[in-house]
Structure formats: C-alpha cells, structure tokens
Amino acid sequence: MYRLYYNPGSANLAPHMLLKELGVLHELVLVDQPGGGHLQPEYLKLNPNGRIPTLIDGDLVLYETAAICLHLVDRHPEAGFAPAVGTNERAEFYKWMFYLANTLHAELITYFYPHRLADDGAATAQVKAHAEARVGVMLDLIEEHLAKRVGGYLLGERFSAADPYLFMLSRWTRMMGNPARNRAHLSRFQQTMLARPAVKAAFDAEGLGEPFV
Ligand SMILES: N[C@@H](CCC(=O)N[C@@H](CS)C(=O)NCC(=O)O)C(=O)O
C-alpha cells in the first residue's frame, strides 16, 4: 500500500491522479502546509526539503513529483503509462516529464513564492509578473504542440504519466491574467482530463471544488 503526503491541490495532485488511474491501494496523509506542517521535524525526516509531496512505498521514501510519477510508471508497467524503453516515443515522454518538472513547474514555484527571490514589495511584484509572463510563453509552446498532435494528450492519442503532471500545472494558472484555459487546445486537454473518473476521484479525495481549471 502506498502512502502519499499531500496538501489539497499541491504538487501531490499529479502522483495522486496517477495512483487513482492505476487503481492501486493508497492512503493519503494530510500535511498542513498553510500551518507549516511541511516544516515540522517529523515531515522533514521524510523530505528534508520541506516540500510536498512525498511517497512511501514500503521501505522507499521518495520525494520530487516527477520522480514519484516515474516510479509509479515503472512499478506498474502493465498500465502502459509510458511508451516502451528505448523508443522515440519514450524519449518524447522523458522530454515532457523533464520540461514540466524543471521548466514549467520551476517557473510556477517562482510565481507562487516570489518573495524568496526579492527583498521588497516592488521587487517581489516584479519577480511575480516576470514569472507569470514566462509561464505564458511556456503555455503557448505547449498549446502549439497540442495543436499539431491528433488525440489531445501530450503524446497524442496515448495517455501517459506526463498528462496528469501537465494538468496539475495548468490548473495552477487559473488565477493568472491569461490562464491555460484561454488556449483552445489546452482547454480541451483540461476538459478531457476532468472527464477521466480517476481525476474526479482524486479531486474528490483532496476536497477540490470549482473552479477546477
Ligand atoms: N521540486 C518539488 C517541488 C514541490 C513543491 O514545491 N511543492 C510545494 C507545494 S505545491 C511546497 O511544498 N511548498 C512549500 C514550500 O516551498 O515551503 C517537487 O517536484 O516535488
């Protein structure tokens, strides 16, 4: 049985949706992020970065969203949530997983925590505005990619573990001036994801209400 440490709607949502897609036994442990629960010694023993999520899989304690998603893919190859190792499709899958993790996710972290990169209010606002603009460019790039692909998922017709990750990140833009939903293909992608029963189950379990995206 897996155990996923979570805060509603946070970076845990991608691995959580994947667990639901896989239909495997898992329990959720709430970390009170607004109350600083992620910085308590008990949680820091699991994830010394004080970041959510962390996955427990038997003796394994794993943090980093992308690593957790890739581990779940590897543990359940029968689900086919990634193309075969050594294929061009697998390479493309890696490309999106890393792009999401170290480019879009990283920029969104800057957007949500701009005060870590600036000293005063004006500078913080500037960092946030720049991060929002850069996220917009990244969303445009993803939009162009989806427009070229038949099927609506990042890999085209094939659903993969990269899709819950993109979906989670795209919904984090919902308060921005030009959110992901303003782009036709990204909006269709979001609606396709929302129609998946596993996604609905994960939203329900985390208590996430409207607006979903
Ligand atoms: N690189 C980490 C980032 C995770 C992350 O930043 N999570 C946020 C919640 S969405 C968090 O824990 N923030 C608390 C903090 O930074 O103090 C990952 O992919 O797991």
DSSP state of 77: G
Give the pLDDT score at 127: 98
Distance 146 CA to ligand 1 centre (A): 27
Domains held by the chain: number: 2
113 plus 184 within the same structural domain: yes
75 plus 107 within the same structural domain: no
We report the CATH number of the domain holding residue 37 as 3.40.30.10
Question: How sure is the predictor about 155, in pLDDT bands with cuts at 50, 70 and 90?
Answer: very high
Within a domain: 139? yes
Distances (CA, A) of 48 to 7, 39, 43, 44, 148: 17, 9, 8, 4, 41
**SS3 assignment, position 149:** coil
Pocket test for ligand 1, best of 44, 47, 51 (most atoms within 8 A of CB): 51
What letters, b where the CB count within 10 A reaches 16 and e where it falls short, cover 14-50? bbbbbbbbbeeebebeebebeeebbeeeebeebbeeb
- Ligand 1, atom 16: nearest CA belongs to which residue? 51
- Ligand 1, atom 14: nearest CA belongs to which residue? 51
Within a domain: 190? yes
Domain that holds residue 131: 88-196
Give the pLDDT score at 196: 98
* Start-to-end Cα distance in the chain: 30
Give the pLDDT score at 20: 98
Within a domain: 209? no
Tokens for 91, please give them. 């390479």
Give the pLDDT score at 186: 98
Mean pLDDT, residues 1-20 taken together? 98
Mean pLDDT, the chain, integer: 98
Tell me the per-residue pLDDT of 71-108, one tens digit each, with 9 for 90 and over: 999 999 999 999 999 999 999 999 999 999 999 999 99
